[in-house]
Amino acid sequence: MIVADQKPVADIKEMLRGKRKVLAVGCGTCVAVCFAGGKREVGTLASAVRMATELDGEPVEIEETVVQRQCEAEYIEHLGEKVGEYDAILSLGCGVGVQSLADNFPETRVLPGLNTKFMGGPTEQGVWVERCQGCGNCLLDYTGGICPISRCPKQLMNGPCGGTDSGGVCEVDPSIPCAWHDIWGRMDNLKIQEELMEIREPKDWSTSRDGGMRTIVRKDLQKPSLEEEAS
């Protein structure tokens, strides 16, 4: 899931300077799971901002709502019935949600209430850890389901560096395990560690982030064009 956390109230208050009526929109999917933008978090943050702006003598009226997913137009189109009533929308969704709201309501200022962090998952209660960087060319079959791109600070692709010790601790950050130590342990447990000895071609990074916006097109899911319908 996409993991995010809330911006400080002081930062949000600064973004809302000069605004008098704001719609705070939460998202019921990823950021609700990581307790950053669900119904409860929207209510708590809205109350904190109201109090802070009142204390400054510049009170902001904030109304609250939560949609199932901000990133899909069908879940936010109903907001169009009332967005014109507000000076701004405060999005408590990930960066995709913020941009989706801005694209669908270009006449209304959309402001981010969260800082989008990474794609990851919970490792214990209240702790979320990065697990994927969306490189577009997954190699988890080769590494036993452990991603060296997200879990090795050096993003090493061919085994551990010389800095790891026998305990399998990362030299860059001793609080985290060496990813390649874990990869070898996982493959050894599966009795397939010999696969790590195979010579592999360099990773294709062309599917990663350096070429601008990435797009996936599924022709089988697209609506037919007028020309195709006519034929």
Do the Cβ atoms of 16 and 31 come closer than 8 Å? no
Q: How far is CA 86 from CA 1, 48, 89, 102, 193, in A?
A: 30, 19, 7, 14, 59
Q: In which band, very low, low, confident or very high, does the pLDDT at 216 lie, cut at 50, 70 and 90?
A: confident
**Pairwise CA distance, residues 99 & 121, whole Å:** 23
User: What average pLDDT score do residues 153-159 get?
Assistant: 92
* Residues 179, 182, 187: CA angle, nearest 5 degrees: 125
Token code pair at residue 171: 């030299």
**186: how many CB neighbours lie within 10 A of its CB?**
15
Q: Which of 54, 12, 10 is nearest to 37 (CA)?
A: 12
Instruction: State the average pLDDT for the chain.
Output: 92
Asked whether residue 214 carries a pLDDT value surpassing 80, the answer given is no
pLDDT for residue 222: 82
Q: Taking the CA of residue 157 as centre, how many other CA atoms within 13 Å lie in the half-sphere pointing to its CB?
A: 11
CATH architecture, range 2-118: 3-Layer(aba) Sandwich (3.40)
Does the pLDDT at position 166 exceed 70? no
pLDDT number for residue 44: 97
Percent with pLDDT over 90 in the chain: 80
pLDDT of 163 > 80? The answer is yes
d(CA 96, CA 119): 13
Angle value at C-alpha 214, between 211 and 219, nearest 5 degrees = 135
Band (pLDDT 50/70/90 cuts) for residue 203 is confident
Nearest to 63 by CA among 99, 95, 32, 19: 19
| Residue 208 confidence (pLDDT) | 86
**What are the residue boundaries of the structural domains of the chain, listed by start?**
2-118, 135-205
Among 54, 61, 49, 62, smallest CA distance to 13 is for: 49
Q: How confident is the model at residue 63, as a pLDDT?
A: 97
pTM: 0.86
Q: Is 5 helix (H, G, I), strand (E, B) or coil?
A: strand
Please tell me the predicted confidence (pLDDT) of residue 230: 66
Residue 200 pLDDT more than 90?
Answer: no
Q: Could you tell me which of 33, 2, 27 has the C-alpha nearest to residue 120?
A: 2
Tokens of 95: 């960066």
* pLDDT tens column, 36-71: 999 999 999 999 999 999 999 999 999 999 999 999
pLDDT at 207 over 80: yes
Percent of the chain with pLDDT over 70: 97
82: number of Cβ within 10 Å: 11
pLDDT of residue 56: 93
Sequence letter at residue 133: Q
